Amino acid sequence: MPVLTLAELQARLGGTLSGDASVLIRGVASLEQAGADRIGFLVNAKKYLPQARASRAGALIVPESLEDALPQPCLRVPNPHAAFAQAAALLHPEPELPSGIDAGAIVADAAEIHRDARIGPGVVIGAGARIGARSVLHAACVIGPGAQIGEDCLLHPRVTVQHGCVIGNRVILHPGCVIGGDGFGLAWESDSEGGHWSKVPQVGRTILEDDVEIGANTSIDRGALDDTVIEQGAKLDNLIQIAHNCRVGRHTAIAACVGIAGSTRIGAYCQIGGAAMIIGHLNICDRVTVSAGTFVAKDIREPGVYTSVQPLMKHEDWKHNAAHLRHLDALVKRVKSLEAKLKEN
């Protein structure tokens, strides 16, 4: 693993330095766990200043606005969280594949693999697929015929990109995700035995624009006719379902276990909380926050925070309270009737 002095870190991250610039840093750590060769960071000084003071970290990344002096050598920067992320990337490089195509990969003759791409063991690449410069495909990824992977992409093991899909530059795909599986397109057909579902072929593609990240075991269906599109810089967590024809806007972040049904459009700069479920054919405008666990069944036309969850109760309390939900309409009528009677009186 790399070792850098604080001065060397400053040379890469910018900022102004106080304290011993020669301290050796071997990694990042939390304020609590950091030892003398680790660098920590402070964002919310109001809350965490005491912890920062007490930390045994060899150095700290702190806000440039911080007025307090700290016992540790400090790097003052405008955005400590982002600078810390950069430090982590420098100090903890991920294991790399050797350059070139592993002998255990199976690449169709008609695929175009950039000479600076790295293709791991067990990877399968179909005819007409294109892999851009410096992109890394880890073990057992499957890239379908005609799919395109841009430059500087990172595909973790066991990713599937189905035929014809288009992946931009600097895209990160985590293990088990499925890009461009068929949408759930069915047509009902009558028959002599009561009818059955016929498959509607899904002829659109999935397009992931630049700087998109897709989590483990997430599934993003190809379009039925037009394309499913995840716009630039959108970040999706694990175990998410994006159905056919959806569009997710730029720099929108979606937490784990979310489901978005077909043809729904999510705006830019949205944040969708974990396990939120959004039905199909909706429009969610820019800068909407949907709370975790929330069910969205209608358009959202104004930025803001939206919620629809039941509060937690002890089971015994819940039994008493929830039963009344079935009779809420009757309760409202009873109150209305009381109001009328009281008016008469």
Please give the residues from 204 up to 233 whose contact with its own copies meets the rule CB under 8 A: 211, 213, 215-217, 219, 221, 225-226, 233
Q: How many CA atoms lie within 13 A of 21 on its CB side?
A: 10
- DSSP letter, residue 183: P
Cβ distance to its own copies smaller for residue 135 or 160: 160
CA triple 208-180-245, angle to 5 deg: 75
Q: Is 109 in the site for its own copies (CB under 8 A)?
A: no
Please give the residues from 54 up to 93 whose contact with its own copies meets the rule CB under 8 A: 79, 81-82, 84-86, 88-89, 92
Q: Is 13 in the site for its own copies (CB under 8 A)?
A: no
Q: Is 295 in the site for its own copies (CB under 8 A)?
A: yes
- Smallest gap from Cβ 23 to its own copies, in A, equals 19
β-strand pairing of 172-173 with 142-143: unpaired
Please give the residues from 260 up to 279 whose contact with its own copies meets the rule CB under 8 A: 261, 269, 274-275, 277, 279
Q: Is 305 in the site for its own copies (CB under 8 A)?
A: yes
Who's near 71: CB < 8 A, 6+ residues apart?
53
- DSSP letter, residue 72: S
Q: Is 12 in the site for its own copies (CB under 8 A)?
A: no
CA–CA gap between residue 178 and residue 160 (Å, rounded): 5
Interface region with its own copies, contact rule CB under 8 A, candidates 14-22, 58-66, 67-75, 117-125: 117-125
The tokens of 288 are what? 């909407």
Cβ distance to its own copies smaller for residue 24 or 338: 338
Cβ distance to its own copies smaller for residue 11 or 332: 332
The tokens of 147 are what? 């799919």
Phi, psi dihedral angles at 208 (to 5 degrees): -110, 120
Among 24, 64, 124, 229, binds its own copies (CB under 8 A): 124
244 is catalytic: yes
Q: Is 292 in the site for its own copies (CB under 8 A)?
A: yes
Tell me the CA end-to-end span of the chain in Å, nearest whole number: 84
Q: Is 11 in the site for its own copies (CB under 8 A)?
A: no
- Binding string, residues 150-189; x marks residues near its own copies by CB under 8 A: ------xxx-x-xx--------x-xxx-x--xx-xxxxxx
Cβ distance to its own copies smaller for residue 3 or 225: 225
Cβ distance to its own copies smaller for residue 20 or 180: 180
Catalytic residue among 114, 244, 320, 327: 244
Phi, psi dihedral angles at 226 (to 5 degrees): -85, -170
Cβ distance to its own copies smaller for residue 8 or 182: 182
Question: Residues 253, 231: contact at Cβ < 8 Å?
Answer: no
Place of tokens 């379902």: 241
Q: How many CA atoms lie within 13 A of 112 on its CB side?
A: 10
Q: Which helix (H) or strand (E) holds 112?
A: strand 112-113
Rg of the chain over CA atoms, in angstroms?
26
Among 45, 200, 283, 285, binds its own copies (CB under 8 A): 200
Please give the single-letter amino acid code of residue 44: N
CA–CA gap between residue 190 and residue 275 (Å, rounded): 36
Question: Residues 236, 242: contact at Cβ < 8 Å?
Answer: yes
Count of residues that bind its own copies according to CB under 8 A: 134
Among 101, 142, 149, 208, binds its own copies (CB under 8 A): 142
Q: Is 341 in the site for its own copies (CB under 8 A)?
A: yes
Known catalytic residues are 244
